[in-house]
Every structure is written in structure tokens, then in C-alpha cells.
Amino acid sequence: MALQENSTLQKLEVELSWFSSRECCLLLKALSKGNSIQSVALRYFPNDIDLVEVCRAVRDCGLDGRVHIEDYDVVLEDAWILPACREVKSFNVTFGHSHRNLDVLRHFFGVAASCYHLTSLCVSLYSFDEGALASLAAYITESHRITEFMLLTEFSEHSPSFIANEEAAVQSMSNVIVALSSNTRITSIHLYLKISIGDRDCQVLADAASNNRQLRELSVSGMNASMHVFLDRLLIGLQHSYNLLRLELPFCDGPTLVMCAVQELVRRNGSLVDRATRFVMGDRSWYCACASSASPRSRFSSPTFERRVAATEEADNLIRGAQKFVRFMNVHEYMKMTGVVQGHVECETRKDRRLGLDQLYYDCWLHIRRYLLIGDVLKH
């Protein structure tokens, strides 16, 4: 009843670990009777809930496009459920000691790669299997929509499965890292590895963090002796790269001068995005406008912006409005924003009777404006 009467709620996240299928359907029915809800995230489905029934209820209640299911644990043998349930956005897969049928795994990833609604994947591997990692690398390469990826390996260099195939194991993990680094759609990579990553793979990850303009988050454990190779490479790449907003290197030996320099560049990127977001949300100060003019469209997809704007259409309208304002502001608005004048631009009459800046036709000013960044104006 409270949900039905609420006219201000826009975003809702619900943990369903204690729900039954019937209770979940009742929740969806209640949400459909409100007119304010724009985004609902359903997490942690219990094993006995009927996912197909819940997804059908989402559509029957008219909530299609507003409800998405996250962190769903998929059984490898149930690959058919993925295309049938387009509400699932993120899913978890476990490949344990008992899984030895690689055909099932290949079929699963083949089906998953064809599902455009799947955007996030978490894979847990409890023992090394060359075929499993090969299937995973192929999926990462072929998937058209995957943007968030997490890999947890529970085996180490001392595991029997690794020792028996050490050369193949190192190469297999390398193939996964190369696949991740070459997928330019990925925005988040989390690798929790109990095996060491070599110099070459560390360089590949560093290049991805610098060159992939979509990658915002990178968390890697397992670099160990090659940490300095990764940081040295990344420090060079981040000098003129603004995409990476979060870098985590758990279990490292401690901060070094290079690590502090790298994290300072990441902090710089985060500050730029926050300022650009404030500009989009209405702050028309010079400080925020500078960040906005230097920010590509994708960088507005920050956690701050996503928390404040529930609907994708609303977000797009805000961004387009801010970009249009920057692109088409007249000379008076531009000079006021940059702090050159407090009100309007007024130029003294020239002796040669040529036009002053305040007398330029609007089209002429827009042509000049194409060559100016807001940050070009020096502040005194």
C-alpha cells in the first residue's frame, strides 16, 4: 500500500533473498500502480524462485524497461533461461571441480554472447581448466554488450591443476587479459587472482586503462613482482588520458612514489567528471564549465550522475541541453561565464571604425567560438 501511494519514489533496489515468486509478483504489481517509479533493481534471487514467472510479471505489469535483475546466479545447464529473461542485466557463473563438460560451458557462453540485454558478468573458477578459460576469452571477445566484468580464481600456482599445466595455464590467463583489454566496450574490470601476472600482461592492462576511453574502473590483484612494470606504464599513459576514475591494487606491498603519482591522476579524472556533472545539473560556473568543455559524452556516466538521474532519457536531455548551451552561448554569456565581464561586453569605438567584439554578428562569433575552450581564458 505504501508503494502504491508514494508519488515521489524514482529509484528502488530490493534484495529478494527472502522472497517467494508470489511475493515478488505482488511487489511488481504494487510498483506498477505508482506513476513515479523509473528504475527498479532486483538482486540476489533465491534458488527456488521462478525467474521466468517473475520476468513475465514485469511485462504484464507494464514495467518492461524499468525493472532489471542483477547478480543472478545462473546454472550452466540452464543457458536457455538467459534469452527468455531479458530483464536480467548481470549474472554470476561458477565453474567448479565437478564441471568437466566443456561442451556445456561453450554452449552457455555462446548463448550468453547472443543476449544483448546482458551487460555484467562475474565468473568464479575453482580449478584451472584450459578449455574453460578459452571459452571465457572467446565470450569476452564476441559479446556485444558486456560492460562490467569480474573474475575470481580460487586456484594458485600451488594448485595441482595449475602445476600439471603451468605453461598452458599462464597462456590461458594471458588470453583472457588480452580479450578484456581489446574489448573497447568494457567500463569495469575486476580481477581477483591467486596466480601471478607477468610483465607482458601487466603492460597490456596498463595500456587498456590508458587507451580504452570507456574503462572507468580497474581492480587487479596478482601483479606481485610485476607491479612496478604496470605502474610505470600506466603513469605515462594517464598523463593525457581522462577515462580512469577508480584504480584498486589490493595486496600490494605499499605505496610508492609512482603509485601516488598514478592515484593523483586518477583523482584528477574524478574531479573533472564531478565538475562536468555539476555543470550538466545546472551549475554554470567557470570552474565547472571548463571541465564540461573538456569532457566527452561518455564521461558523464559517473556514479554521481547516475545516482541523481534515474531515467536514461532524462540524462540524455540534460547532457544535450548543457552541451547546446556551451556550443551556442553568445559573446556576452561566454565572457560573463569566464569572468572577463560582470554583465555585457562593451568595447570602445575603434578609430578605424572596424567592428568591436560586441558588434560581431552572432554567426561570426560562433565561428570564432569553435576555436576557443572555456579553459583558455586565464583567471587572475
Give the CATH number for residue 158. Answer: 3.80.10.10
Is 109 found in the same domain as 45? Answer: no
Task: Express as a percent the part of the chain with pLDDT over 90.
Answer: 35
pLDDT of residue 298: 45
Among 168-177, 295-304, 362-371, the minimum mean pLDDT is found in 295-304
- What is residue 87's predicted lDDT score, i.e. its pLDDT? 93
C-alpha atoms less than 13 angstroms from C-alpha of 341 in its C-beta half-sphere: 13
Specify whether 44 is located in the same domain as 192. Answer: no
- Shared domain for 259 and 362, answered yes or no, is no
Q: Clarify whether residues 341 and 218 are in a common domain.
A: no
Name 91's bridge partners: 72, 121
Residue 96 shares a structural domain with residue 137: yes
Judge whether 293 lies within some domain. Answer: no
Domain-embedded: residue 288: no
Crossing angle between the packed helical segments 102-113 and 130-142, to the nearest 10 degrees = 10
Name the residue range of residue 36's domain: 1-70
Considering the domain architecture, whether residues 249 and 263 belong to the same structural domain is answered as: yes
Q: Answer with the one of 70, 96, 121 that is the final residue of a domain.
A: 70
Q: 137 or 327: which carries more pLDDT confidence?
A: 137
For residue 86, pLDDT beyond 70: yes
Are 139 and 192 in a shared domain? yes
Among the ranges given (20-29, 123-132, 198-207), the one the predictor scored with the smallest mean pLDDT: 123-132
**pLDDT tens, 46-77?**
878 889 999 999 999 999 889 999 999 988 88
pLDDT, the chain, mean: 85
Model confidence over 271-291: pLDDT tens digits?
888 888 888 888 888 888 888
Residue of higher predicted confidence among 373 and 238? 238
Last residue of a domain, one of 9, 43, 70: 70
Summarize pLDDT for 165-193 with one digit per residue, the tens.
778 888 999 999 999 999 999 999 999 98
295 pLDDT above the threshold of 70: no
Asked whether residue 282 is assigned to any structural domain, the reply reads no
Count of structural domains within the chain: 3
pTM here is: 0.84
Distance CA 227, CA 291 (A): 31
Whether 214 maps to a domain, the answer reads yes
Q: Are 34 and 92 contained in the same domain?
A: no
Q: Which residue has the higher pLDDT, 204 or 297?
A: 204
35, 70, 105 — which closes off a domain? 70
One domain, residues 20 and 123: no
> 369: pLDDT confidence band, cut at 50, 70 and 90?
confident
How much is the pLDDT for 267?
A: 95
Domain-embedded: residue 284: no
Instruction: Give the Cβ contact number of residue 98 at 10 Å.
Output: 8
C-alpha cell at 22: 508470489
- 344 inside domain: yes
Structural domain contains residue 307 = no
The pLDDT, as a whole number, for residue 235 is 95
Q: Is a pLDDT exceeding 90 seen at residue 312?
A: no
The answer to whether residues 245 and 100 belong to one domain is yes
**What pLDDT, on the 0 to 100 scale, is given for residue 311?**
55
Q: Which residue has the cell 509478483?
A: 25
99 and 202, same domain (yes or no): yes
In a domain, 377, yes or no: yes
Indicate if the pLDDT at residue 306 is higher than 70: no
The answer to whether 152 touches 125, Cβ cutoff 8 Å, is: yes
Do 249 and 151 share a structural domain? yes
Spatial separation of the C-alpha atoms in residues 133 and 149, rounded to whole Å:
14
